[in-house]
Amino acid sequence: MKLVLSYLKPYRVAMGVAILLTFVELTVELTQPLFMAKIIDEGILPRNLQAVLSWGSIMLGVSFLAFAAGMTSSFYSAHVSQSYGYDIRKRLFEKITNFSLETFHRLPASSLITRMTNDVTQTQQAIFMGLRIMLRAPLIIVGGVVMSLLVNAKMGFILLGTVPILIVLILLMVKTGGKLFREVQTMLDRVNSTVRESLMRIRLIRAFNTESYESGLFTTASENLRQQTITVLRFMEVIMPLSLLLMNLSIVLILWFGNNHILMGAMKEGDVVAIINYATRITATLPVFTMIVSMFTRSKASANRISEILREPTNDIALGNTTSIPLSIKGEIKFENVSFTYPHSDKEVLHQLSFHVNQGERVVILGATGSGKSTLFQLIPRLYDVSEGTILIDKRDLHDIKVDELRQQIGYVGQVPYLFSGSIFENITWGKEDATLEEVIAAAKDAQIYSFIASLPNQFDTIIGQKGVNLSGGQKQRLSIARAFIRQPRILLLDDCSSALDAQTENRLFQALEKYACSTLIITQKINTALTADQIFIMNEGRIVAKGSHAELLEHSALYQQIFQSQSKKEGVHYV
Ligand SMILES: Nc1ncnc2c1ncn2[C@@H]1O[C@H](COP(=O)(O)OP(=O)(O)OP(=O)(O)O)[C@@H](O)[C@H]1O
Top-confidence residue, 554 or 223: 223
Q: Which of 105, 371, 543 is the pocket-test mutation for ligand 1 (most atoms within 8 Å of CB)?
A: 371
Distance CA 106, CA 516 (A): 37
d(CA 391, CA 334): 6
Query: Ligand 1: distance of its center to the CA of 540 in Å?
Result: 12
User: What is the band of 349 on the pLDDT scale with cuts at 50, 70, 90?
Assistant: very high
Please tell me the distance between residue 530's alpha carbon and the centre of ligand 1 in angstroms: 22
pLDDT at 469: 54
Give the torsion sign (CA, 318, 322, 323, 329): negative
Residues written for the chain: 576
Q: Quote the ligand 1 centre to 414 CA distance (angstroms).
A: 13
What average pLDDT does the segment 395-414 reach? 84
pLDDT at 97 over 90: no
Q: Residue 316: its pLDDT value, please?
A: 56
Ligand 1: nearest atom to the Cα of 525: 25
The CATH H-level (homologous superfamily) assignment of domain 315-409+489-576 is: P-loop containing nucleotide triphosphate hydrolases (3.40.50.300)
Rounded to the nearest angstrom, the distance between the alpha carbon of 574 and the centre of ligand 1 is 32
520 alpha carbon – ligand 1 mean position (Å): 21
Cα 511 versus chain centre, distance: 43
| Ligand 1 atom closest to 542 (CA) | 14
Kindly state the average pLDDT of the residues 92-107.
Answer: 81
**Is residue 574 over pLDDT 60?**
no
139-148: average pLDDT? 90
Task: Give the Cα separation of 477 and 471 in Å (integer).
Answer: 10
| Residue in 100, 106, 341, 342 to alter for ligand 1 test, most ligand atoms within 8 A of Cβ | 342
| Integer angstrom CA distances of residue 470 from 121, 424, 449, 459 | 34, 12, 15, 14
Residue 84 pLDDT class (50, 70, 90 cuts): very high
Per-residue pLDDT at 219: 92
Ligand 1 within 6 A of CB of 524: no
- Minimal-distance CA residue to ligand 1 atom 28: 370
Q: How many CB atoms lie within 10 A of CB 512?
A: 17
pLDDT tops 80 at residue 468: no
User: Ligand 1 centroid vs 376 CA: distance in angstroms?
Assistant: 10
| pLDDT, tens digit, 9 for 90 and up, residues 259-283 | 888 888 888 888 889 999 999 988 8
Rounded to an integer, what distance in angstroms lies between the CA atom of residue 66 and that of residue 458? 60
What radius of gyration do the chain's Cα atoms show? 36
Q: Nearest CA to 24 among 76, 78, 83?
A: 76
Domains 315-409+489-576 and 417-488 share a fold: yes
DSSP state of 313: P
Q: In degrees rounded to 5, what are phi and psi of residue 488?
A: 50, 60
Ligand 1 pocket, 375 CB below 6 A? yes
Phi and psi (nearest 5°) for 529? -65, -35
Residue 466 has pLDDT above 80, yes or no: no
Query: If you average pLDDT over residues 77-84, what whole number do you get?
Result: 94
| Domain 2-314 class in CATH | mainly alpha
- Neighbour-count burial of 89, counting CB atoms closer than 10 A to its CB (0-12 exposed, 13-18 middle, 19+ buried): middle
**Mean pLDDT on 42-63:** 89
Least confident of 121-125, 189-193, 356-360: 189-193
The architecture (CATH level 2) of 417-488 comes to 3-Layer(aba) Sandwich (3.40)
Averaging pLDDT over each range in 88-92, 138-142, 408-412, 486-490, which range is the top one? 88-92
Confidence of residue 85 (pLDDT cuts 50, 70, 90): very high
Average pLDDT over residues 83-95: 92
How far does the centroid of ligand 1 lie from the alpha carbon of residue 370, in Å?
5
From atom 23 of ligand 1, which residue's Cα is the shortest distance away? 370
What is the CA(373)–ligand 1 centre distance, in A? 8
CA distance 461 to 479: 14
Q: What is the pLDDT of residues 115-129, one digit of tens each?
A: 888 889 989 999 998
Hey, is 480 helix, strand or coil? helix
Taking the centre of ligand 1 as the mean of its atom positions, its distance from the CA of residue 372, in whole angstroms, is: 6
Residue 153's pLDDT is 86
CB-ligand 1 contact for 346 (6 Å cutoff): no
CA of 383 to the centre of ligand 1 (A): 14
Residue ranges of domains in the chain: 2-314, 315-409+489-576, 417-488
The finding on whether 367 has its CB within 6 A of some atom of ligand 1 is: yes
Task: Using alpha carbons, select from 189, 543, 153, 165 the residue that is nearest to residue 370.
Answer: 543
pLDDT of residue 327: 64
Mutate to test the pocket of ligand 1, among 375, 376, 495, 524 (most ligand atoms within 8 A of CB): 375
pLDDT reported for residue 21: 92
Cβ(50) – ligand 1 distance below 6 Å: no
Average pLDDT over residues 363-367: 89
Specify the 3-state DSSP secondary structure of 366.
Answer: strand
Confidence of residue 575 (pLDDT cuts 50, 70, 90): very low
Q: Residue 113 above 80 pLDDT?
A: yes
Which whole-number Å values give the CA distances from 173 to 20, 239, 287, in the listed order? 28, 7, 11
Pick the more confident residue, 108 or 376.
376
Residue 547 and residue 535 in contact, taking contact as beta carbons nearer than 8 Å: yes
Ligand 1 pocket mutation, candidates 349, 369, 379, 545, criterion most atoms within 8 A of CB: 349
Mean pLDDT confidence for 342-352? 87
Task: Please report the pLDDT score of residue 571 as a whole number.
Answer: 54
Tell me, what's the pLDDT at 72? 95
Q: Cα(216)–Cα(219) distance, rounded to whole angstroms?
A: 5
pLDDT of residue 521: 93
| 342 CB within 6 A, ligand 1 | yes
Q: Is the CB of 451 under 6 A from ligand 1?
A: no
Secondary structure class of 566 (helix, strand, coil): helix
Phi, then psi, of 518 in degrees rounded to 5: -100, 160
| 8 Å CB contact between 254 and 279 | yes
pLDDT given for residue 80 in this prediction: 95
- pLDDT at position 511: 83
> Which ligand 1 atom minimizes the distance to the CA of 539?
21
The percent of residues above 90 in pLDDT, for the chain, comes to 20
Q: Give the Å distance between the CA of 539 and the centre of ligand 1.
A: 13
The DSSP bridge pattern shows strands 362-367 and 519-523 to be: parallel
The answer to whether the CB of 386 falls within 8 A of the CB of 399 is no
Atom of ligand 1 nearest to the CA of 377: 18
Distances (CA, A) of 330 to 130, 363, 410, 475, 512: 59, 16, 11, 30, 19
Q: Is the CB of 369 under 6 A from ligand 1?
A: yes
Measured in Å, residue 242 CA sits from the centre of ligand 1 at 61
**Maximum average pLDDT range among 4-18, 198-212, 509-523:** 4-18
Cβ of 349 less than 6 Å from ligand 1: yes
- CB count within 10 Å of CB 211 equals 12
The CA–CA distances, whole Å, from 83 to 66, 80, 119, 131 equal: 25, 5, 15, 14
Mean pLDDT, residues 203-221? 83
- In this predicted structure, what is the pLDDT of residue 570? 56
What does the pLDDT average to over 363-368? 88
371 lines ligand 1 (CB under 6 A): yes
Comparing 500 with 114, which gets the higher pLDDT?
114
CA of 277 to the centre of ligand 1 (A): 71
70-73-74-78 Cα dihedral, nearest 10 degrees: 180
Identify the residue whose C-alpha is closest to ligand 1 atom 5: 342
Whether ligand 1 lies within 6 angstroms of the CB of 373 is answered as yes
